[in-house]
């Protein structure tokens, strides 16, 4: 199959519907190409500049992890933070379950790409334990600082710009990273800084189909 047929949408064509491919059942690895000599390459970069190693960024809640059993939303649809903090206990964290993209996270790591977790959680030991017992390894874990109350969008822009600069890039866009997140505001924010962010809700649904 021609690799261009599965090329992820970019730029102005890249909207919230995120029609990565037309098949109902979404295959995560279809956005990578396999070269028998060079291994797995990410197809998002231009053909001339394909790199063997890609940065793939994963949000946690609603993307890789189903933590809905300990979430409550207010009447306006926003997360009830008081409820979240009251239920953000080790026991309840360990009762979370995995979404289909968790398998993709393992596959990306196994294929030798860089896995970056970028979450609005203020990480505590139980969060890391949950990732470890579920064999969800990562190269970097970017998270909210305790007490920080900035919006998820502004937090993730700041964390990712700083991370990619620390990796030697001039800015996040230069890393040609791809990302999965379920928060529409975050998706828009990531697209605005040049990170191709897929709607994790849609991707998980397609993968489960
Ligand atoms: Mg999320």
Structural domains of the chain, with CATH: 12-208 (3.40.50.1000)
Cα 190 from chain centroid (whole Å): 11
According to the model, what pLDDT value does residue 27 have?
52
Tell me, in angstroms, the distance from the centre of ligand 1 to residue 48's CA.
33
Residue 50 confidence (pLDDT) above 90: no
Give the pLDDT confidence of 169-206 residue by residue, as tens digits.
999 999 989 899 999 999 999 999 999 898 999 888 88
Instruction: Record the pTM.
Output: 0.78
Token pair for residue 147?
């007490």
Closest CA to 55 of 166, 150, 199, 189: 166
Residue 66 DSSP symbol: E
User: Within 13 Å of residue 10, how many CA atoms lie on the same side as its CB?
Assistant: 14
Q: Which residues surround the ion ligand 1 when the cut-off is CB under 5 Å?
A: 59, 61-62, 182
What is the pairing mode between strands 114-119 and 55-58?
parallel
Tell me, in angstroms, the distance from the centre of ligand 1 to residue 51's CA.
28
Give the pLDDT confidence of 21-42 residue by residue, as tens digits.
333 444 555 555 444 343 444 5
């Amino acid at each position: 199959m021609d690799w261009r047929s599965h090329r992820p949408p970019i730029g102005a064509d890249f909207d919230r519907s995120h029609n990565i491919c037309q098949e109902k059942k979404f295959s995560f690895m279809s956005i990578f190409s396999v070269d028998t000599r060079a291994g797995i390459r990410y197809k998002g970069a231009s053909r001339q500049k394909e790199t063997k190693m890609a940065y793939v960024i994963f949000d946690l809640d609603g993307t890789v992890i189903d933590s809905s059993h300990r979430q409550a939303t207010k009447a306006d649809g926003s997360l009830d933070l008081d409820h979240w903090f009251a239920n953000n206990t080790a026991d309840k964290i360990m009762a979370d379950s995995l979404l289909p993209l968790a398998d993709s996270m393992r596959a990306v790591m196994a294929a030798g790409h860089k896995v970056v977790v970028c979450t609005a959680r203020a990480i505590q030991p139980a969060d890391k334990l949950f990732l470890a017992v579920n064999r969800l390894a990562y190269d970097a874990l970017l998270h909210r600082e305790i007490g920080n109350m900035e919006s998820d969008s502004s937090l993730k822009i700041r964390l990712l710009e700083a991370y990619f600069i620390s990796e030697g890039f001039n800015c996040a866009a230069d890393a040609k990273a791809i990302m999965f997140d379920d928060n529409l505001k975050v998706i828009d924010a990531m697209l605005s800084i040049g990170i191709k962010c897929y709607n994790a809700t849609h991707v998980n649904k397609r993968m489960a189909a």
